[in-house]
Amino acid sequence: MGARCSKFSFCWWHSHLKPSVLQSSDLENGEKNALPSFTEFSWEELKNATNGFSSENIVSEHGEKAPNVVYKGLLENDRWIAVKRFNKSAWPDSRQFIDEARTVGNLRSERLANLIGCCYEGDERLLVAEFMPNETLAKHLFHWENQPMKWAMRLRVALYLAQALEYCSSKGRALYHDLNAYRVLFDKDGNPRLSCFGLMKNSRDGKSYSTNLAFTPPEYLRTGRVTPESVVYSFGTMLLDLLSGKHIPPSHALDLIRGKNFLMLMDSCLEGHFSNDDGTDLVRLATRCLQYEARERPNAKSLVTSLISLQKENEVPSHVLLGIRHGNANSTQPLLLTPMGETCLRMDLTAIHEILEKTGYKDDEGIANELSFQMWTNQMQETLNSKKHGDTAFRAKDFTTAIDCYTQFIDGGTMVSPTVFARRCLSYLMSDMPNEALGDAMQAQGISPEWPTAFYLQAASLFSLGMENDAQESLKEATNMEAKRNKN
C-alpha cells in the first residue's frame, strides 16, 4: 500500500497484542528536571511562548474576564510555563515588582508551583511559574465530571497545603493573599501544589481579598491588613470546601457545627467512605482555624502535625487517587489539542462516537466514484447493504450489530473504506475489545496514511490498553497532521 506509518507498524501491532500496563518508572525513567534559577525573561520570549498571548492559551478559571490573566506557554527549551500578565494599572513601581518577584522566586518547594521568572518591560508586568497540567482544586472539588474527589485525596490536599504554608513561613513569607481553591493546582503526578502567585503582594490598590466578604478573615475587615493568622483562617475555609465539596460560608458551617450537625456539612458523595472519627477530627481542626480571635488559631506547623495523623492510603500515588492519567507534562499534551484529541485524551468514547457520526464518510477518498460504477452488481448491493445496516446500528449505539455488519462489508472485499474500519474500531472499544480496535485503527491508517482520525483512534486504543507513552505519540502525530491539513 505504500502507507506511511508513525512509530507503529503491523508487525509491531501483532507483537504487542497483550501489552502490560506501563509502570510509573517507565514514564519517568527516574529523571527529574531541576528547576532553573530565577530568570528575567524578555517580552518577546513570553510572547512567542504563549503564541502571541493567544486567547486559546488562557488557563485562568475566569478566562479573559480575570483582572490578571494567566496563559499556558512553551519555552524554546520545551519547558511548559504559566505566565501571569497583570493589567496596566498594576505594579506601577517596577522596582517594587522586581524585588517582590525575586524574593518569591528564591523559594523552591515541591509543595509550591514555583516562580521561575518575571518580565517588566515598559508597562508590562508578568510573572512566570511552573505549569501545572492538571487544573485546580476548585475544578476537581466543585466541578468534577467523572468522579468526586476521594476522601484520602482531600486529606492529602489539606496536608500538602499546610506543608506549603509552613515552608513559606519558615522562609519569611508567611503572608498569602486570598487563599482559595483556585490557588491550589495539581502537577503532572497529581500532587497538589500551592500557586506562588498568592505570595506576591498585590498591586498598588493594596487589596488582598477579592472573594466574597463572607469568606474574608474578620480582622481583615476591621484593619484591611493580612496577617499569618488571616492565612490560617482562609485555610479553615478550604477545609470546609474539602469536607463539603461546596464553598460554604464559615458562619453557616460554624452554626451547623455548634448544633452538632456536622454530618450535614459532609459531601454526600463521601457517604460510607470515611469514619465519623476522621470527619470529627477534620471539623474540629477547621473550627480552630475559623476562630474569631486570631490569636486562638493554630499556626502552620501545628496544622501539619494535626493533618499527618489523619492521612489515609499513603502508599497510593496521587494521580491514582485523583483519577487522572500519569505522565510528563512536557510530553503528554500538545499545546493545543483539537476537539478529537481532547476526547481521546479523556477517553470519552461517547464524544468520539458523536464526532465520527457527524464526520460521515467525507474522508473515504475515491469511494463515492467507485460506488457509482459498481452499484449494478448483486455482490456490490449486498456489500452496501451490510455497510448500511452497520451504519444504522452504529448510530443507534448497537455496537455488537455494528461489528457484525461492518465485518461482513470488510470480508466482502469488493471495496475498502477507512471510515468503516474507524467505526468498527470504536465499536470494538465500546465493547471492551481494545486489541481488535487497535488492529482496525492500523488498517484505517494503512488505507489512508494522511488521515488524522486513524491516528486518533490508535491513541484511544493504546490508552485503553494502558500503553500511555505510545498513545501520546500517536496523539501528537494526529494533532500535527490535522494542523497541517487545516493550513492547506
Alpha carbons 123 and 290: distance in angstroms, whole number: 40
> In terms of Cα–Cα distance, which of 186, 132, 128 is closest to 156?
186
Look up cell 470480508; give the residue: 411
The SS3 of residue 273 is coil
Q: Which amino acid is at 281?
A: D
Q: Which residues of 306-345 are buried (b: 16+ CB within 10 A; e: fewer)?
A: bbeebebeeeeebbebbbbbbbbbeebbbeebbebbebbb
> In terms of Cα–Cα distance, which of 428, 458, 463 is closest to 443?
458
Alpha carbons 86 and 240: distance in angstroms, whole number: 30
Q: Which amino acid is at 327?
A: G
Tell me whether strands 115-119 and 39-40 are parallel, antiparallel or unpaired: parallel
* Distances in whole angstroms, Cα of residue 282 to Cα of each of 251, 319, 401: 17, 23, 52
Q: Which residues pair with 347 in a beta bridge?
A: none
> Rounded to an integer, what is the distance from CA 437 to the centroid of its chain?
26
* Distances in whole angstroms, Cα of residue 133 to Cα of each of 15, 56, 168, 189: 33, 15, 23, 9
Alpha carbons 184 and 200: distance in angstroms, whole number: 15
- By CB atoms closer than 10 A (0-12, 13-18, 19+), residue 376 is exposed
Active site residue 187: no
Maximum CA extent, the chain: 90
Alpha carbons 364 and 367: distance in angstroms, whole number: 6
Q: Which of 178, 187, 241, 391 is catalytic?
A: 178
Who's near 384: CB < 8 A, 6+ residues apart? 371, 375
Look up cell 505504500; give the residue: 2
236 close to 289: Cβ distance less than 8 angstroms: yes
Residue 172: CB atoms within 10 Å: 9
Radius of gyration of the chain (CA): 27
Write the Ramachandran bin of 136: left for phi over 0, alpha for psi from -120 to 50, otherwise beta. beta
Tell me whether strands 126-130 and 80-85 are parallel, antiparallel or unpaired: antiparallel
Catalytic residues: 178
